[in-house]
């Protein structure tokens, strides 16, 4: 079945979902986006993703042109149109169609599209054995130039880092800021464990505040673990007891080695394993239902067996 795409208020088959070559999202990377997951019929932390999207849009003075509630509905409708209970949602808002000048005033209004598809996670052995990670020479873009907190359509900084990772034959790369402090991986946040505490670089080091990062910090605190956000150096990475990455696509994934230095004997380490399991549990119970009528049906069926199939009807 062709994928069904939400495009500017309507859901169309993918072969009808066309974007103009004059769209400033394409011409200049002018826009914002989100990557969202659905697990077992629920959208994980949809509101948090939308708050980040709308904040990014506000920061670049892009009027999305629809309230957040309507956007939430559009995400759920796209999943429903694709009969999807699990998968990845890519939500994109561009500045819209203009002319060849970069002035955003040339654009009449935003383009909004939403794709629901499968997600290519790392192979299972990566989760079991951990990732091979390098620190890349590409610096994370300076927040004074373009704040990494904005999930903008311009990912060249991350892509340049990614090409270094590919050339090194590693799984992921960690970017430092211009002062040499750890920021984040190309598409994930970074955590380390040291002496029972959980550490992750602060927002002001120049990073995207991940929805998964927030969830993992919450879960750790709930489990009584102290969570801190200090400036993180390469030395702290190399001497960590455990290291893992978090992201909507990757979830929680252990790091085996950084710049060829093995982090510890046991990979994934105990805290990584605990947090990964807790995160999985959370995704199953939290979030907006994509097919609420099924849940209602299930509740009725539980109370009155046969009601769902119409057996109980007179």
Catalytic (active-site) positions: 151
Residue nearest to ligand PMP (CB): 210
In whole angstroms, how close is the CB of 251 to ligand PMP at the nearest point? 9
Q: Does 213 bind ligand PMP (CB under 6 A)?
A: yes
Q: Does 212 bind ligand PMP (CB under 6 A)?
A: yes
Q: Would you call 43 helix, strand, or coil by DSSP? A: strand
In whole angstroms, how close is the CB of 200 to ligand PMP at the nearest point? 11
Q: Which is nearer to ligand PMP, 51 or 284 (CB)?
A: 51
Element (H, E) at 243: strand 242-247
Q: Does 276 bind ligand PMP (CB under 6 A)?
A: no
Q: Which of residues 167-196 bind ligand PMP (CB under 6 A)?
A: 184, 187-189
Are 114 and 5 a contacting pair, CB within 8 Å?
yes
Q: Is the peptide bond before 161 cis (omega within 30 degrees of 0)?
A: no
Q: What is the DSSP string of 86-104?
A: SEEEEEEEE--B--SS--G
Q: What's the CA gap between 185 and 65, in Å, rounded?
A: 32
Q: Which is nearer to ligand PMP, 113 or 191 (CB)?
A: 191
Are 31 and 272 a contacting pair, CB within 8 Å?
no
Q: Which of residues 71-110 bind ligand PMP (CB under 6 A)?
A: none
Q: Which is nearer to ligand PMP, 24 or 213 (CB)?
A: 213
Candidate list 20, 26, 35, 86; residue touching ligand PMP; CB under 6 A: 35
Q: Is the peptide bond before 268 cis (omega within 30 degrees of 0)?
A: yes
Q: Does 247 bind ligand PMP (CB under 6 A)?
A: yes
Q: Which is nearer to ligand PMP, 80 or 90 (CB)?
A: 90
**In this structure, what token pair is assigned to residue 193?**
């464990």
Spell out a b/e string for 256-281, using b for 16 or more CB atoms within 10 Å of the CB, else e: bbbeeeebbeebbbebbbbbbebbee
Q: Does 248 bind ligand PMP (CB under 6 A)?
A: yes
Q: Does 152 bind ligand PMP (CB under 6 A)?
A: no
Q: Does 211 bind ligand PMP (CB under 6 A)?
A: yes
Q: Would you call 247 helix, strand, or coil by DSSP? A: strand
- The 8-class DSSP code of residue 148 comes to T
Q: Which is nearer to ligand PMP, 84 or 213 (CB)?
A: 213
Look at the alpha carbons of 7, 10, 14, 19 in this order and tell me if their dihedral is positive or negative.
negative
Give the residues lining the site for ligand PMP (CB under 6 A).
35, 158, 184, 187-189, 208, 210-213, 246-248
């Amino acid at each position: 079945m062709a994928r069904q795409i939400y495009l500017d208020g309507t859901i169309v088959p993918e072969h009808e979902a066309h974007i103009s070559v004059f769209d400033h999202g394409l011409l200049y990377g002018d826009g914002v986006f989100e990557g969202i997951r659905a697990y077992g019929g629920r959208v994980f932390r949809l509101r948090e993703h939308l708050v980040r999207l709308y904040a990014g849009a506000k920061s670049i003075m892009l009027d999305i042109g629809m309230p957040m509630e309507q956007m939430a509905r559009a995400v759920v409708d796209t999943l429903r149109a694709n009969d999807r209970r699990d998968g990845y949602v890519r939500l994109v808002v561009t500045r819209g169609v203009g002319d060849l000048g970069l002035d955003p005033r040339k654009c009449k209004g935003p383009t909004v599209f939403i794709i629901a598809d499968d997600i290519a996670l790392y192979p299972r052995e990566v989760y079991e054995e951990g990732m091979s990670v390098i620190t890349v020479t590409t610096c994370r873009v300076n927040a004074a130039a373009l704040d990494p907190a904005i999930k903008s359509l311009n990912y060249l900084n991350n892509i340049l880092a990614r090409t270094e990772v590919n050339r090194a034959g590693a799984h992921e790369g960690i970017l430092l800021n211009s002062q040499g402090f750890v920021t984040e991986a190309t598409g994930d946040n970074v955590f380390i464990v040291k002496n029972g505490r959980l550490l992750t670089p602060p927002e002001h080091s120049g990073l995207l505040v991940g929805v998964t990062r927030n969830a993992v910090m919450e879960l750790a605190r709930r489990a009584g673990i102290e969570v801190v956000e200090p400036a993180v150096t390469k030395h702290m990475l190399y001497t960590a007891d455990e290291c893992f990455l978090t992201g909507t696509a990757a979830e929680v994934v252990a790091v085996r080695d950084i710049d060829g230095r093995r982090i510890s004997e046991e990979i994934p380490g105990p805290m990584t394993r605990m947090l990964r399991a807790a995160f999985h549990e959370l995704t199953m119970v939290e979030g907006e239902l994509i097919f609420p009528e099924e849940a209602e049906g299930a509740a009725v069926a539980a109370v009155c067996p046969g009601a769902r199939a119409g057996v109980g009807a007179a």
